[in-house]
Amino acid sequence: MLELIDITLLSQIIQTVVTVVGAFLLLKLFNGILTQVIGAKNEDRKRAINNVKRFLQVLIYSTAAILILWIFEVDITGLLAGLGIGALVIGFALKDIIENWVSGLLIFTGKTYKIGDVIQVGTLKGVVTAISLRTTVLKTYDRNEIIMPNSLLIKEKIINLTGGGKEAVTNVVFYIDYVFDVEKAKAVIEAVIRGHPNVVVNLKRKREIRFLVRCKEWTTELEVLFWINAPENEEFIKSWVSELGKTKLAEEKILPPIPAVMRKDFLEKRQ
């Protein structure tokens, strides 16, 4: 009988050791996969990884503890029932937090955007300044910081305007009267754009200044598209180009659409 008890106890001890070692190795494996998939290039990602690691640690070691109790033939039926009810209550209470965490993991693993990218969510546009498991922080052109839950972001259409780089395309629209030379107006606008330090022009990298010309009644619309290397200052760059462009066009006597009552006099003076 003593030998049987010793064998049973020895078996339980061995199973316990195997369970503990298995839990440790499983946690180490998950941590390695997590670090490889998400990466740890910045503090936000490191913080997110640490949060997930702590969650996995609690989950795996709790499961190991229940298995150890089962190995020693402890009745865990009541414990499991209590844990099930508790998990259900906690799940409902932390539904939004868990949803944000899962969304944060999807954003990290999917590499949808990173810090420094300019993204557009609906009508909102801003620079990503921080990413955590629960939230993403955007800074708008007017320097306001907007904290958005990841669960909301993942449900919206996200447009990454920089595509993971530090350059983005922007546009400015000018309106001139249809009587003026379009090519001359394009040359004036292009000279203004090339003069801004944050405008990128590189034909080898297909960083060009391009125009879209739309002819309307009494009006010629010139939309110019160009690359900038400071997307976080996009609105200020566009404002500078728009203001200086209108000034230079006026100096060249290229005017906005002329009211119909003044058109006849204007055309007669040109002749």
CATH of the domain at 32: 1.10.287
What are the pLDDT digits (tens) for 31-87? 777 666 655 565 656 666 666 777 777 777 777 787 877 777 766 666 566 666 655
Instruction: Give yes or no: residues 136 and 180 share one domain.
Output: no
Give the pLDDT mean for 105-119.
72
Same domain, 37 and 71: yes
Residue 160 has a pLDDT of 80
119 within some domain: yes
Judge whether 268 lies within some domain: no
pLDDT grade for 2, boundaries at 50, 70 and 90: very low
Model pLDDT for residues 186-239, shown as the tens digit of each residue: 999 999 999 999 999 988 888 899 999 998 878 899 999 999 988 878 888 999
Q: pTM of this prediction?
A: 0.54
- How many independent structural domains does the chain possess? 3
Burial call 125-159: b when 16+ CB within 10 Å, e when fewer: bbbbebbbbbbbbbbebeeeeeeebbbebbeeebe
Instruction: Please tell me the distance from the alpha carbon of residue 85 to that of residue 181, in angstroms, as a whole number.
Output: 77
